[in-house]
Amino acid sequence: MTDPLIPARLAFAADGTPFSPDYDDVYHSADGGAAQAHHVFLAGNGLPARWQDAARFTILETGFGFGLSFLAAWHAWQEDPRRSARLHFVSVEKHPFSAQDLAVLHAPHADLAPLASELRDAWPMLVPGLHRLEFAQGRVVLTLAFGDAAALLPQLRLAADAVFLDGFAPAKNPDMWSPELMKAVARLCAPGATAATWSVATPVRESLRAAGFAAEKRRGFARKSEMLVARFVPPRSLRPPPPRPAERSAAVVGAGIAGAAVGERLAARGWEVTLVERHLEPALEASGNHAGTFHPVLSSDDSHLARLTRAAFTYLLEHWRQFDAIGAAPEWRRCGVLQLARDAREEAAQQAALEALAPPLDYAQRLDARQASACAGVKVAAGGLWFPEAGWIRPRSYARALLRRSGARLLAGREVAALEQAGTRWILRDREGESIVEAGAIVLANAADAMRLAPSEHIRLRRVRGQLTYLPPIGTLRCVLLRGGMVLPPIEGITVTGASFDLDDTDPSVRAESHEGNLERLERIVPGASAEFDPRQLAGRTSFRTVARDRLPLVGPLEQAPGLYGALAFGSRGLLWAGLGAELLASQMEGEPLPLEVALADALAPARFALKARRRAGSTASRP
Ligand SMILES: Cc1cc2nc3c(=O)[nH]c(=O)nc-3n(C[C@H](O)[C@H](O)[C@H](O)COP(=O)(O)OP(=O)(O)OC[C@H]3O[C@@H](n4cnc5c(N)ncnc54)[C@H](O)[C@@H]3O)c2cc1C
Ligand SMILES: C[S@@+](CC[C@H](N)C(=O)[O-])C[C@H]1O[C@@H](n2cnc3c(N)ncnc32)[C@H](O)[C@@H]1O
């Protein structure tokens, strides 16, 4: 279960210092927050000197607050001509502020104003989990982990070079300084990592020592005579962080949205990327539909599916906003999505999910049938969940935007027939055995065809036929409606509705019988809307989803061989999942902090099926 996220309350102490009424403590020294951040956290960790000339530097913080230490670190990095190529800043926060409150808190810090304004523009919805934001053309990467540090730190995967320990005072906020929490911090430290804090309280020193840090006192900030700096002295058993790949070239098989998204994320990290696509143009298979929807999923137990869709949804809102900002946007709209309840049971489940997560209204809320109809612009069959920031996207425009932005090489009209490993390199060959391209790593993003190129006894991918029906505009529909099927508002005069879900049906044609099924679905969403259409006269499109046994995507290293990765099986949610999936994969390939909790990354790992098989075999073997 995930606890609902409770935002921080904006308040100030008598001297104007930001203050937490819940913890009865100030957010920073009354002698200046930014100056304190410089003295305690930056200088205390030997910064900026330690990030100079590094390819990457990673800072972990406990307690993001209103981001003053982050802004001070980013500013110092920006001003440093010898700054690291990339700066990762990962911070845990249980009670984030709203963007409006951040504006009030940032206002006194004039020298940080441009950076603070960028931070607020990218500020995510206040929902639990990890949120990855990028600044400075992707060279400053902020990963915000919203939730309790005790629960979230063990869910992070990163190798920190420096740690900013910044809970409220240990007496008022003991959870943030406990021995368990420091051990969780230590597990995230690279060898040679340092930590700094303004507190010299005995429990803090003891927790640090017990976790493997050698701490010493230094002159404190302003009126404080002392502070702590610590060096992580790793126990012998500590595994070193994953090495960065020596050769940063990748061949991506398939230029649907999955391949295009992986190409873009790798290219953003300086990889040399070649996409190989069997058709003459990208996104002509599953990613070739007129349009599709993106929206989160809610469940009262906050299942992996609910958490993954939440993470992917908030990720892509920010990612696409960045595309918009550089004028390379895909065609998409946040027109809102209404997920109508199918029956009283689903209505109760929706209500229970809302109560359990208590999300902000901009994430999800419930509307009754009358309110839903007013929102939709047409009379709908039921009430349901309203996702005001969700909407539709045109997948081909998305793939094109990704390819344009990445600058990756696209070899179109080339079908990969075989993969060959030559030492540490890979060669992709066509049917005649000719080499198409060579690279240090391969990413299979070619949907169900992947297992033909890299067979696995554990992974079974299935194709599911899906036919959409393309109709003229329906009434004055202005948002996306879901209820078993979906109907989109008109896009360039076409209303997309559907879709059939035909397991083990390989027929690529457009069938009247599938249109009929789509019209029935439409009728259950907008009663009366299907009456005027003859299924034999309708246009539409058939393509194939790829699904794994557990219906979750496969993202990560493939067990079949080293240097082989997958971004596959996005099922009926590829438009939502491909973006975060690509960011996860690129982070794994680079050995960077992951943008998802470990439990969620593991739920997507292609190795999960082999792992389950091994566990099953183990438990059978141990049975008497
Ligand atoms: C009817 C229908 C409706 C959908 N609606 C939605 C929706 O509303 N929202 C949503 O999020 N998702 C939706 N989806 C799912 C979404 O479209 C897919 O998850 C997504 O397009 C998958 O992208 P992909 O890149 O993995 O696969 P694809 O787009 O199929 O791309 C795979 C690419 O690999 C290429 N390829 C394959 N083998 C080789 C080879 N050997 N050599 C070279 N190239 C190769 C193919 O030509 C293809 O271009 C829908 C799917 C269907 C079928
Ligand atoms: C001193 S403030 C941090 C100030 C911040 N570094 C800044 O630069 O603005 C301490 C922060 O820790 C957060 N916090 C307290 N307990 C927490 C917990 N258990 N898990 C995560 N965050 C917590 C508080 O909400 C608060 O924002």
Among 516, 547, 578, the domain-final residue is: 547
Q: How far is CA 12 from the centre of its chain?
A: 34
**Residues 352, 220 share a domain:** no
Tell me how far CA of residue 35 lies from CA of 40, 112, 192, in angstroms: 8, 12, 26
**Residues 384, 276 share a domain:** no
| Atom of ligand 2 minimally distant from the CA of 95 | 25
Q: How far is the CA of 47 from the centre of ligand 2 (A)?
A: 22
What is the pLDDT at residue 135? 97
Q: Cβ distance 385 to 350 under 8 Å?
A: yes
| Atom of ligand 1 minimally distant from the CA of 446 | 34
Report the CATH number at residue 489: 3.30.9.10
**Residues 353, 205 share a domain:** no
**Residues 281, 170 share a domain:** no
Distance CA 562, CA 288 (A): 31
Q: Is the pLDDT of residue 16 over 70?
A: yes
Q: Flag whether 318 is in a domain.
A: no
| Atom of ligand 1 minimally distant from the CA of 576 | 11
Report the CATH number at residue 39: 3.40.50.150
Among 186, 165, 284, 283, residue whose Cα is nearest residue 239: 186
Q: Is the pLDDT of residue 327 over 90?
A: no
Domain that residue 96 falls in: 19-232
- Residues above pLDDT 70, as percent of the chain: 98
Q: Cβ distance 378 to 274 under 8 Å?
A: no
Banded pLDDT at 261 (limits 50, 70, 90): very high
Token representation of residue 410: 């696209």
What is the pLDDT at residue 328? 75
What is the pLDDT at residue 192? 92
**Residues 561, 420 share a domain:** yes
Mean pLDDT across the stretch 264-289? 97
Q: Flag whether 564 is in a domain.
A: yes
41 Cβ closer than 6 Å to some ligand 2 atom? no
Tell me how far CA of residue 319 lies from CA of 115, 133, 329, in angstroms: 18, 8, 10
Q: Flag whether 426 is in a domain.
A: yes
Q: How far is the CA of 213 from the centre of ligand 2 (A)?
A: 21
Q: Flag whether 291 is in a domain.
A: no
Q: Flag whether 2 is in a domain.
A: no
Banded pLDDT at 171 (limits 50, 70, 90): very high
**Residues 89, 48 share a domain:** yes
First-to-last C-alpha distance (Å) of the chain: 35
Residue type, 154: P
Mean pLDDT across the stretch 376-388? 97
- pLDDT tens, position by position, 30-49: 999 999 999 999 999 999 99
Q: Flag whether 356 is in a domain.
A: yes
Instruction: Classify burial at 370, counting beta carbons within 10 Å of its beta carbon; exposed 0-12, middle 13-18, buried 19 or more.
Output: exposed
Q: Is the pLDDT of residue 194 over 90?
A: yes
Distance CA 116, CA 142 (A): 13
Banded pLDDT at 618 (limits 50, 70, 90): confident
Report the CATH number at residue 417: 3.50.50.60
Q: Is the pLDDT of residue 549 over 80?
A: yes
Q: Please give the tally of structural domains in the chain.
A: 3
Q: Is the pLDDT of residue 624 over 60?
A: no
Most ligand 2 atoms within 8 A of CB, residue of 163, 173, 175, 221 to mutate: 173
Mean pLDDT across the stretch 593-597? 98
Banded pLDDT at 243 (limits 50, 70, 90): low
- pLDDT tens, position by position, 78-135: 999 999 999 999 999 999 999 999 999 999 999 999 999 999 999 999 999 999 999 9
Tell me how far CA of residue 332 lies from CA of 419, 421, 478, 488, 498, in angstroms: 36, 40, 14, 12, 19
Token representation of residue 322: 């960045």
Among 200, 232, 264, the domain-final residue is: 232
Provide DSSP, 3-39: PPP-PPPP-B-TTS-BEETTTTEESS-TT-HHHHIII
What is the pLDDT at residue 279? 98
What is the pLDDT at residue 472? 95
Q: Is the pLDDT of residue 213 over 60?
A: yes
Token representation of residue 230: 């610590």
**Residues 558, 543 share a domain:** no
Most ligand 2 atoms within 8 A of CB, residue of 95, 144, 153, 178 to mutate: 95
Q: Flag whether 533 is in a domain.
A: yes
163 Cβ closer than 6 Å to some ligand 2 atom? no
Q: Cβ distance 273 to 250 under 8 Å?
A: yes
Sequence-separated (6 or more) residues with CB below 8 Å from residue 143: 88, 89, 90, 91, 130, 131, 132, 133, 593, 595
Q: Is the pLDDT of residue 238 over 70?
A: no
Mean pLDDT across the stretch 514-530? 97
Q: Cβ distance 19 to 26 under 8 Å?
A: yes
Among 547, 573, 601, the domain-final residue is: 547
Q: How far is the CA of 62 from the centre of ligand 2 (A)?
A: 6
- Answer yes or no: pTM beyond 0.95: yes
**Residues 562, 510 share a domain:** no
Q: Return the beta strands (E) in 423-460 as ranges.
A: 425-429, 435-439, 441-444
DSSP 273: E
Q: Is the pLDDT of residue 587 over 70?
A: yes
Mean pLDDT across the stretch 415-440? 96
**Residues 360, 281 share a domain:** no
**Residues 379, 405 share a domain:** no
Distance CA 424, CA 60 (A): 33
Q: How far is the CA of 28 from the centre of ligand 2 (A)?
A: 10
Residue-averaged pLDDT of the chain: 95
Q: How many CB atoms lie within 10 A of CB 301?
A: 11
Distance CA 193, CA 61 (A): 13
Mean pLDDT across the stretch 305-310? 98
What is the pLDDT at residue 501? 97
Mean pLDDT across the stretch 499-511? 96
What is the pLDDT at residue 323? 85
Name the residue at shortest CA distance from atom 25 of ligand 2: 95
Banded pLDDT at 623 (limits 50, 70, 90): low
Mean pLDDT across the stretch 6-32? 96
- Residues above pLDDT 90, as percent of the chain: 93
**Residues 542, 556 share a domain:** no
Mean pLDDT across the stretch 525-540? 95
Ligand with an atom nearest the CA of residue 546: 1
What is the pLDDT at residue 324? 80
What is the pLDDT at residue 246? 75
Q: Which long-range contacts (CB under 8 A, 24 or more apart) does 131-137 make?
A: 131/311, 131/314, 131/315, 131/318, 132/315, 132/318, 132/583, 132/595, 133/318, 134/322, 135/74, 136/74, 136/78
**Residues 455, 479 share a domain:** no
Q: Flag whether 159 is in a domain.
A: yes
